[in-house]
Amino acid sequence: MSRWEKQVTPENAWRDYPRPQLTRANWQNLNGMWEYAIRPKTESQPSNFDGQILVPFCVESTLSKVTKSLKSDQRLWYRRNVTIPTDWNGQRVLLHFGAVDYECNLWVNGGLVGSHVGGSDAFEFDITDFLKSGQNQLVLGVTDPTTDGEQPRGKQVFNPNGIWYTPVSGIWQTVWLEPVPNPAYIEEVRLTPELDSSRLRVEVLLNRPITSPTSAIRLTALDGTQTVASLLVRSGRVAYLPIKNPKVWSPDSPFLYNFKAELVTVKDPFPGTENRNRPRHNDAERSAYAKAEVTGNAVDAITSYFAMRKMSMGPGKIAGQPMMLLNNKPVFQNGPLDQGWWPGSLLTPPSDEAMIFELDFLKKSGFNMLRKHIKVEPDRYYYHCDRLGLLVWQDMPSGFLSGQDMGRQEVVEPLRRSKGKEQFELELRRMMNRLHNHPSIVTWVVHNEGWGQYDNVRLADWVKALDPSRLVNAASGWSDLGAGDFFDIHTYEEVPNIPEPKKDRVIVVGEFGGIGWPITGHLWDPNKRNWGYQTYQDKDAVLKAYRTKYAKMVEMYQKNGVSAAVYTQTTDVEGEVNGLLTYDREIIKIPIETLREIHAPLFK
């Protein structure tokens, strides 16, 4: 295990506030020891449980203290008691799950509250109506088909081997309670920077519409504690906050503005006017609410943050070959393929400190980007990318039936069942919505290497329409159909291949490298093959190979107009030994200073 995994206890397991982009002061962390049981999924809720499990670590992981597999014909049960603080009386109580893989049902005090399907997205239940005074019993039942299903699952398989890893089932991110005002509260905030016009587009969404003309939203943007913009708008309206002389976010200067949204009551801006005669969605309404007088305290208030940055495609160094632009300037994006797996906790990072160590290592090594590979991280991961200044290409987790044709390197799209496509698109949209506010995320990656690929052109257009503020990598490697903003090749040859020029898209090397070095004492399983795309046995050979590959990237950047390079990979993972770090993060295979020196020509 890594040093951070060795430090995890039931008392310190993920104590950090789980949602930095929408923060309230009051909350209750439910991570820690829960009861668990594994039973055939045909059986009813058990009365006797098998033991205890440490939440939020999956049942297969070492840190869960269970380390058992969950088969597709079984159900994993969780149970624990909670007491609601008395000062939450009169408010609604939400039970949040950061992620549960894959399908779950929740009972509170014996009543069925609801269900959720999807392994990577956060969700919540309003459990207010099921609560009683004193102790309340929570019971969660989870099923996970893993390889027997078509659902998005990334690299999880029942038989881990090669580039496929141990399954993750059940709760694998923070569980927490939160009180919110009754009956209306701020449920969602969407923040989209519009750098060219020096303004921030703001959409504040309540849990239910409020028709009263005295309901308004007060928006405040701050530089530290200094207010730089403030605006009152009627609830349910899009707003634009002017940000004069914006401080621009970039990897070199990752400046974050603070933000506050408040649900407030104002004096009626149009007293004596019948509702049907009030101006709506026009300058008169906006002007009236902007000048309205707030009465009393805020009904609800959340804090967040945003950055002023722009991601686009435009002219680059080589005539006729577009490049990626950050804030209207060409910036080469250099980063690792980052899979986010840990030896003792699998998909769940062991702690905030563990994530910070890894991201700090990448930043100091001369990377300004990472490709988050077919995994969605906890919100705090992206928060650290935001504040440290690491660009993120966010992959959608792949999903396909075991034995299904995954696609080939020629242009082909195997048929997919309708329900598989429906679930993929549901989870893709959830991922985009949940992560929308993070300035570090600059690219959505729809499909990887033909894995479960279908309707790639349609999906790329759909993703771009949903979020025109980012670039779209329709297919990273293999089956390119001319969609999206990228032409992306994968090249694991000792000397990487050069992408062909494109007039309509940027060209990138979406995967290369794969230099393997198995280090005794730091292997997941010494009896495995422990492979890399090329495998060496000493640091000098590894360094020579790395220099050779990156010299080719510099040449491609300077002579061919390549926009980005993604090196495989940040760490060793299970049977793969092609990481810059060993799986336990104890050995840095190439010194940080050397990595930085090798990467430096890409930023000149």
> What does the pLDDT look like over 67-95, one tens digit per residue?
999 999 999 999 999 999 999 999 999 99
Contact between residue 50 and residue 36 where contact means Cβ atoms under 8 Å apart: yes
Residues 191 and 338 in one domain: no
**CATH number of the domain to which 442 belongs:** 3.20.20.80
User: Does 194 lie in the same domain as 160?
Assistant: no
Query: Residue 596 has what pLDDT?
Result: 98
In a domain, 313, yes or no: no
Tokens (6 digits) for 103:
């399908």
CA distances for 545 relative to 181, 365, 391, 505, 571, angstroms: 59, 17, 26, 30, 17
Q: Which of 131, 150, 180 is the last residue of a domain?
A: 180
240: domain CATH number?
2.60.40.10
Evaluate whether 362 touches 381 at the Cβ level (below 8 Å).
Answer: no
Each residue of 141-173: pLDDT tens digit?
Answer: 999 999 999 999 999 999 999 999 999 999 999
Question: Are residues 191 and 169 part of one domain?
Answer: no
Does some domain include residue 327?
Answer: no
Which pLDDT score, from 0 to 100, does residue 403 have? 73
On whether residue 527 sits in a domain, the answer given is yes
Which tokens belong to 148?
A: 């027997």
Is the pLDDT reported for residue 431 higher than 60? yes
d(CA 317, CA 171): 48
Tell me whether residue 565 is in a domain. Answer: yes
- Residues 186-232 pLDDT 10s: 999 999 999 999 999 999 999 999 988 999 999 999 999 999 999 99
Q: What is the mean pLDDT of residues 46-61?
A: 98
For residue 546 the two structure tokens come to 């790395």
Q: Helix (H, G, I), strand (E, B), or coil: what is residue 175?
A: strand
- 190 touches 213 (CB < 8 A): no
Q: How far apart are CA 252 and CA 172, in angstroms?
A: 33
Q: In terms of pLDDT, which residue wins out, 185 or 281?
A: 185
Q: State the chain's mean pLDDT as an integer.
A: 96
Pull the structure tokens for residue 592: 């940080």
Last residue of a domain, one of 141, 157, 180: 180
Q: How open is the CA angle 21-27-29, to the nearest 5 degrees?
A: 100
- Has residue 311 been placed in a domain? no
Whether 364 and 402 share a structural domain: yes
Whether 451 is covered by a domain: the verdict is: yes
Residues 465 and 439 reside in one and the same domain: yes
**pLDDT tens for each residue of 328-364:** 999 999 999 999 999 999 999 999 999 999 999 999 9
Residues 454 and 592 in one domain: yes
Nearest to 420 by CA among 151, 104, 130, 41: 151
Check pLDDT > 80 for residue 310. Answer: yes
What's the pLDDT band for 317 if we cut at 50, 70, 90?
confident
Cα–Cα distances in angstroms (integers) from residue 262 to residues 185, 428, 513, in the given order: 9, 29, 49
Q: Which stretches does DSSP call E strand in 377-514? A: 391-395, 441-448, 471-476, 486-491, 506-513
Counting residues of the chain whose pLDDT is more than 90, the rounded percentage is 92
Q: What's the number of domains the chain is made of?
A: 3
pTM beyond 0.95, yes or no = yes
| pLDDT tens, residue by residue, 444-487 | 999 999 899 999 999 999 999 999 999 999 999 988 999 999 99
| pLDDT attached to residue 406 | 64
C-alpha span between 496 and 508 (Å, rounded): 12
556 domain-assigned: yes
User: 48 is written with which tokens?
Assistant: 């006797």
pLDDT recorded at residue 63: 98
Is 320 part of any domain?
no
Please say whether the beta carbons of 194 and 311 come within 8 A: no
Regarding whether 563 and 446 lie in a shared domain, the answer is yes
End of a domain among 240, 272, 306?
A: 306
Same domain, 148 and 190: no
Q: Which two tokens stand for residue 251?
A: 């990897």
Q: Do 440 and 568 have their domain in common?
A: yes
User: How high is the pLDDT of residue 356?
Assistant: 98
Within this chain, do residues 287 and 390 fall inside the same structural domain, yes or no? no
Answer whether residue 500 shows pLDDT above 70: yes
Which CATH number fits the domain that encloses residue 125? 2.60.120.260
Please enumerate in sequence order all residues whose Cβ is within 8 A of that of 351, keeping only pairs 6 or more positions apart, or say none: 4, 7, 8, 12, 14
Do 438 and 577 have their domain in common? yes
pLDDT over 70, % of the chain: 99
Provide the residue range defining the domain that includes 236: 186-306
Find the distance separating the first CA and the last CA of the chain, reported in whole Å.
Answer: 39
289 and 234 part of one domain: yes
Residue 114 binned pLDDT confidence (cut-offs 50, 70, 90): very high
Residues 367-399 pLDDT 10s:
999 999 999 999 999 999 999 999 999 999 999
